[in-house]
Structure 1
Amino acid sequence: MATPNLDKQAAATTTATTATTTATTTADIEKQSPLPDPTTKSIASSDTTQQPHNTSPIKVPRFLVKINNALESLSGFEARGITRVLPSERQPPSLLADAQVFLLWFGANISVNNLAVALLGPLVFQLGFTDSAWCAVVGAFLGSCSTAYMSIWGPASGNRTMVIARFFMGYWPSKIPTGLNIVLMVGYITLSFIIAGQMLSAVSGGNLTIVVGIIVSALVCWVVAMFGMRVFHFYERFALIPQILVLFALIGCAGPYFDTTVESQGDTTAVAANRLSFLSLCLYVPNSWAAAASDYYVYYPENTRKRKIFCLTLFGLWTSFSLVYMIGVGLATGVAQHASWAEANDISTGALIVAGLEPLKGFGTFCSVIVALGIIANSIPGCYSAALGFQVLGRHFKVVPRWVWTCTVSVLQMVLALAGREHLFVLFQNFLALMGYWVEFMILIFVLEHVLFRRTRGFDWARGEDKSYLPVGWAALAAFLLGWVGAILGMYQIWYTGPLAVLAGGSAGGCDVGVWVGCGFALVSFPPLRWLELRVIGR
């Protein structure tokens, strides 16, 4: 939602406070130099970083500075971490930059790991083709809207998403969603590596183990994410084309076996409960990008229209998720009709996709490899954002370069994927829904603060570490925790079913209403608590 006065006021206050916020600086290894379009130009290496108010500089180990300087000398390497990108440092507007907004999200999310989510509609919730398709598309739209809203703050602020959270939730409370976002990104990438490993193993007939496939995926993801935006965008653009071609090849050869006549199972109450549960699950995946959405827009001009960023992000996400969800639903309906697909599905999700391409013979094998490697395109943005998240956790975390955190995250993801490679569906069912709840609560707090309390006053985006300027955050923290209370009461998981989920589920045994109840609790609690906080504390 655009606010005409916000950007003007923010620009004015930023100009007025730049001198004070940069008065105390220290030599740092994180970039603050002008950074042109990361997809077309090289990056300079000198830099200073703003220090928080009333804090002393943190000394950086000399050996780390030397290593960082050597890496910065590499062409296309991005050393900048969470330091704000000033308006004077932004890339100039261009059609390529606008197109890149759409292509980033579309290219990153047409990967088959998202397809695996849609399999749950017919296979787990026993929904028919039509019900599954509608729930998938509507869920994808709602989740995409959430992420699109969060993306508008990147150009306006020049800050990464979890730094922006400080302006809405306070310095200390915002660390909770920051930590959860690291877990979220690492978890999704872990699942992606497992599916890539499964596919490469299935293509080789078992000669190549899942372990090798996971390691290959992790290495490529690590290299691209470590280099940063320029290489990241380059990879995403060129990974897009073969991914699209292979997906349409999959539709062409597997489509005739989709069973579009299959009906949902159960009575009216059970079907309704399963529809809502599956719709919520399909919402969580595109919605999970919301906590990182602004990370990829910090180099866009400050006056970039919010509506343009919102729409391009929305359509990039919605079209990509709708495409892969529909393919996933189709494959799931064919499992019950074709023994070879059922056998492949018993092995792994990756094997099912390979079975769908089997009519293409040798070319199908080639397509399967392309699809498996394409999963990496979905993993790179998450790895990049998880590394930034570590820097947001505190001053001592911030002085560690982004590329060091990228290495740490990459190793962690690989280890988790290797450990959990035999239990993919269990991981999906336990992890996706649980991690999807909190993102919506955070977004709702953003929207309420924006609409109710910031309509007439903007933000001084340069003061992201000034605790005396940022809100205390008690209201946001209370609303966030109350949202979790609602989620616990309404969640429907294998290991736990909340009392409200039992009431809503009827004969289905349960219905996942956690996100809806949680949002209701946050919606009711935040406005009065925030009003009280402003009256008592004043910020």
Structure 2
Amino acid sequence: MQSEKAPEPTSGTLSPSPAEQGTFEETHVTAVRATNRLQRYANRLDALVGIEARGIERVPPELRERKLALGDYFGIGVMWFSINCTANQMTLGVLGPVAYGLGLVDSMLLCTFGTIFGSACSGYIASFGPWSGNRTLVVARYSMGWWPSKICVILNWVIEIGYGLVDCLIAGLLLSAVNGHGMSPIVGIVVSALITWLVATFGIRWFHTFERWVAVPTVLVLFILIGVAGPDFDTSTPSSGSGATLAGNRLSYFFLTASGPLGWVPAAADFVVYYPENTSRVGMCFMTTAGMTLGKLLIEFLGIGLGSGLAANADWATAFEGSGVGALVVAGYAPLGNFGKVCAVVLALCVAANNIPGTYAAALNFQQLFTPLAKVPRPIWTTVAAVIYTVCAIAGRNHLLSIFLNFLGLIGYWVVIWIAMVVEDEFIFRRKTGFRWQDCSDSSKLPLGIAAFTSFLIGWAGAIVCMGQTYYYGPIARMVGEYGADLGLPVALAWTAICYPPLRMLELKFVGR
């Protein structure tokens, strides 16, 4: 197979502004060697106004050497808290009582442990960012091989575009509900998309700065919502169903809540590649897990509470049935009058905190797909991604709940398949040899990917026969209780974990790489 190589980065650095002194940005190297006219323009914009020019090119260790402080690790936790503590995550909470008939206590417990599991997986993958200097799905080449890893790239691109659609739609519905539905959700969709596009296009500096502060107004208005809507949460009604039916609903909701944070696994390292190589992997993993878990639980618990109160609060039920979660949030703030509407507007605008990293990662996915696409600078792909999900959000604005439920349930299947291979590759096959991160763009020095691709298909087969989605229930999934249960995620994980080691051993024996 012919070797493919990406251009090597330059060794220049950008001087930080006075406000950035003492933060991780001061050692950022965002310009790369210009191999075409577009990249030269991108480097000029980087130098003039700070638009990040670097895309999927590796950041060498010598360009990010510095002394780490405790605040650097704390900043990781704050970043992930901000990314996940946004109004769109409330939909996942509402689904517990509404879609699965679970009581408030059941929903909260399942949400907690499902979120911790998914967040820990993201934390593990995030630790590869400083260690390798590579973006997440460039790291995937070491376990999947050059060509099979592109399957992950395509699937992750779908995740990020899907989240962009949901994020913009939630913001649009919130702003429309605040206006009494006199304003079309399209206006809010476009506003949210523009905020996202601006920050994501400027890149990593603006991204980290935005995430560092956006959590403040979000948390303030959420605590106000807890105070005004909390008395109407239903804390006494138990979960509906019994026996295998109830167990199936609990399992389905657990794995659905795990799928939310699992969605960040294929992008988790993208935002920390500028951290020094000696960054503690344990510290990075822990702070990513903690920030993501706390951010998601705060907003999802609120969603669970609002969902539990639908049966007893006619105004909430009417709002939810008419316009979904956006209107439900506005109804929760209703006792506060115009001040409640202001709080809802703040929540709507802050949804961009969740969409910005997804748009940033989607732009990198374009570059990772084919070598010619890598020659187009990242800011251009950011624009393309924003246009795509904005158009999709406008087209699908009347079907949010079904879009979210069907889309989110599919995320976890392929992510846990890849996670299983990454863990086994590191701790079984590279325990002694380690990784040669500088070979990330040389396909001749990477695995051929036969074992990974075969294991990937086997894992998907397990997911298909055990998945439980509104549009399809596998034969095994249908056997659980009255309504079935979604068992695709643990089965996909188990089948992959069993098959990959022996297949990889055979690949190493007969192929040699």
- Pick from 389, 398, 405: which aligns with 2:381? 405
The reply to whether residue 498 of structure 1 matches residue 509 of structure 2 is no
- Pick from 23, 26, 32: which aligns with 1:47? 32
The residue type paired with residue 271 of structure 1 is L
CA distance in 2, matches of 1:330, 1:155: 38
Shift of 1:44: 6.8
Determine if contact 1:140/1:318 at 8 Å carries over to the other structure: yes
Alpha-carbon distance change, 132 to 72 in structure 1, aligned in 2, over 3 angstroms: same
CA distance in 2, matches of 1:463, 1:151: 20
Question: What pairs up with 1:170-185 in 2 under 5 angstroms?
Answer: 170-185=145-160
- Partner residue of 1:34? 13
Shift of 1:406: 0.3
Give the paired residue count: 503
Determine if contact 1:35/1:89 at 8 Å carries over to the other structure: no
- Partner residue of 1:71? 45
Shift of 1:435: 2.2
Q: Secondary structure at the match of 1:220?
A: helix
Determine if contact 1:43/1:75 at 8 Å carries over to the other structure: no
Q: Secondary structure at the match of 1:297?
A: coil
Q: Secondary structure at the match of 1:373?
A: helix
Q: Secondary structure at the match of 1:499?
A: coil
Alpha-carbon distance change, 284 to 25 in structure 1, aligned in 2, over 3 angstroms: closer
Question: What pairs up with 1:329-348 in 2 under 5 angstroms?
Answer: 329-346=304-321, 347-348=323-324
Alpha-carbon distance change, 153 to 100 in structure 1, aligned in 2, over 3 angstroms: same
Question: What pairs up with 1:133-212 in 2 under 5 angstroms?
Answer: 133-212=108-187
Shift of 1:393: 0.9
CA deviation string 1:331-351 (max 9, x = no partner): 001111100000110122101
- Partner residue of 1:523? 497
CA distance in 2, matches of 1:88, 1:449: 26
The reply to whether residue 461 of structure 1 matches residue 437 of structure 2 is yes
CA distance in 2, matches of 1:494, 1:35: 50
Shift of 1:238: 1.7
- Partner residue of 1:131? 106
- Partner residue of 1:88? 62
Determine if contact 2:39/2:53 at 8 Å carries over to the other structure: no
Shift of 1:207: 2.4
CA deviation string 1:294-345 (max 9, x = no partner): 0011111101111100110110011111111211110001111100000110
The reply to whether residue 303 of structure 1 matches residue 278 of structure 2 is yes
- Partner residue of 1:445? 421
Structure 2, gaps ≥5 residues long: none
The residue type paired with residue 162 of structure 2 is G
The reply to whether residue 424 of structure 1 matches residue 400 of structure 2 is yes
The residue type paired with residue 207 of structure 1 is G
Determine if contact 1:110/1:323 at 8 Å carries over to the other structure: yes
Shift of 1:42: 8.9
Q: Secondary structure at the match of 2:437?
A: coil
Structure 1, gaps ≥5 residues long: 1-20, 50-58
Alpha-carbon distance change, 43 to 275 in structure 1, aligned in 2, over 3 angstroms: closer
Alpha-carbon distance change, 161 to 528 in structure 1, aligned in 2, over 3 angstroms: same
Q: Secondary structure at the match of 1:462?
A: helix
The residue type paired with residue 51 of structure 2 is F
- Partner residue of 2:465? 489
Shift of 1:438: 0.5
Identity %: 43
Determine if contact 1:243/1:370 at 8 Å carries over to the other structure: yes
CA deviation string 1:422-467 (max 9, x = no partner): 0001101211111221011111110011111111111110111112
CA distance in 2, matches of 1:422, 1:162: 33
Question: What pairs up with 1:269-288 in 2 under 5 angstroms?
Answer: 269-288=244-263
CA distance in 1, matches of 2:182, 2:11: 48
Determine if contact 2:14/2:30 at 8 Å carries over to the other structure: no
- Partner residue of 2:506? 532
Shift of 1:517: 1.1
TM-score (structure 1 length as normaliser): 0.90
The reply to whether residue 389 of structure 1 matches residue 389 of structure 2 is no
Determine if contact 2:32/2:43 at 8 Å carries over to the other structure: no
Determine if contact 2:27/2:65 at 8 Å carries over to the other structure: no
CA distance in 2, matches of 1:35, 1:481: 44
CA deviation string 1:466-495 (max 9, x = no partner): 122111111111111111101100111111
CA distance in 1, matches of 2:471, 2:289: 33
- Partner residue of 2:350? 374
CA distance in 2, matches of 1:407, 1:342: 38
Q: Secondary structure at the match of 1:119?
A: helix
CA distance in 1, matches of 2:193, 2:359: 10
Alpha-carbon distance change, 167 to 203 in structure 1, aligned in 2, over 3 angstroms: same
CA distance in 2, matches of 1:308, 1:256: 38
Determine if contact 1:43/1:78 at 8 Å carries over to the other structure: no
CA distance in 2, matches of 1:47, 1:476: 32
Determine if contact 1:81/1:402 at 8 Å carries over to the other structure: yes
Determine if contact 1:36/1:89 at 8 Å carries over to the other structure: no
CA distance in 2, matches of 1:119, 1:448: 36
CA distance in 1, matches of 2:15, 2:242: 59
Q: Secondary structure at the match of 1:124?
A: helix
Determine if contact 2:136/2:269 at 8 Å carries over to the other structure: yes
Shift of 1:526: 0.3
Shift of 1:66: 5.6
Q: Secondary structure at the match of 2:469?
A: coil
CA distance in 1, matches of 2:39, 2:81: 37
- Pick from 92, 102, 110: which aligns with 1:117? 92
Q: Secondary structure at the match of 1:143?
A: helix
- Partner residue of 1:328? 303
Shift of 1:533: 0.7
The reply to whether residue 236 of structure 1 matches residue 205 of structure 2 is no
Alpha-carbon distance change, 91 to 335 in structure 1, aligned in 2, over 3 angstroms: farther
Q: Secondary structure at the match of 1:261?
A: coil
The reply to whether residue 222 of structure 1 matches residue 207 of structure 2 is no
TM-score (structure 2 length as normaliser): 0.95
Shift of 1:68: 2.4
Shift of 1:32: 5.7
CA deviation string 1:29-52 (max 9, x = no partner): x76633677865497776327xxx
Shift of 1:360: 1.6
CA distance in 1, matches of 2:413, 2:403: 16
